[in-house]
Amino acid sequence: MIGDWLLISEYSDDMEEFLREIGLGLMKRKVLNRGTYTMKLDHNIDEKKVRVRIEPFIGPTQTMYWDLSGNLFTEKNNEVGTWINKLEFIRFKHIKTNNNNLLAINITRTSDNFPGKIVETRWTQTNSKYGFIKYIRYRYVNLTNKAATF
C-alpha cells in the first residue's frame, strides 16, 4: 500500500473531537456501482462505543457497533460469520488523498471463515463542502507486505 501510516492513540478517547476534526456526523459516500449510502454515527452504548448505520438508497440498512477504546471487538456478519475487529485512528497519507496528511478511521478485521486480513480505511477530504467519505479496502493475502485491493 502506498503511503505513510501513523497511529495516534489520543483520538481513541474522544470521538466528538475526532468527528469535529474530520467533519463527520451525517455523511454520504459513493460506492462504485452500488449507488449512494448515508452513514450515520452516534453514541449508543457508552462513550467508548459508537453505532454506525449505513443506509443505502435501496436495500437494507447495515448497523455496526465500533469499539473506540482500541480493544478487539467482535461483529457478526451473515455472509462471513464472526469478525474480530480492531479500530485505530491514524494519520493517513496516500496517493488517493493527493498526498495530504489526513486523519482516518482504520479497521483491521479477521475471521476464521475468511483467509487473510481485511483492512478498511475511511476518511473525509479536508475543507470539503459536502464531506464525502472516502473508502479504501485491502485484503492481506498472506503475512508478507503484499496486499490485494478489491
| Arithmetic mean of pLDDT over the chain | 65
pLDDT in tens, 99-130: 777 777 888 888 887 777 777 777 766 555 44
The DSSP H or E segment spanning 20 is helix 15-22
Cell numbers describing residue 95: 496517493
pLDDT at 135 over 60: yes
Is pTM, for the whole model, over 0.85?
no
Q: Could you tell me the CA-to-CA distances from 56 to 22, 41, 48, 62, 80 in Å, in that order? A: 22, 15, 26, 9, 20
46 lies in which domain range? 4-149
Winning range, highest mean pLDDT, from 10-14, 38-42, 72-76, 137-141: 72-76
d(CA 42, CA 45): 9
Overall average pLDDT of the 43-66 stretch: 73
Question: Band of the pLDDT at 148, cuts 50, 70, 90?
Answer: very low
Of 94 and 81, which is predicted with more confidence? Answer: 81
Overall average pLDDT of the 26-41 stretch: 54
d(CA 77, CA 29): 21
pLDDT in tens, 10-33: 444 444 555 555 444 444 444 444
The DSSP H or E segment spanning 122 is strand 114-124
Q: Is 33 helix (H, G, I), strand (E, B) or coil?
A: coil
Q: How many domains does the chain have?
A: 1
Asked whether the CA dihedral 44, 6, 107, 85 is positive or negative, the reply is negative
Cell numbers describing residue 91: 494519520
d(CA 83, CA 114): 9
pLDDT in tens, 87-99: 888 877 777 677 7
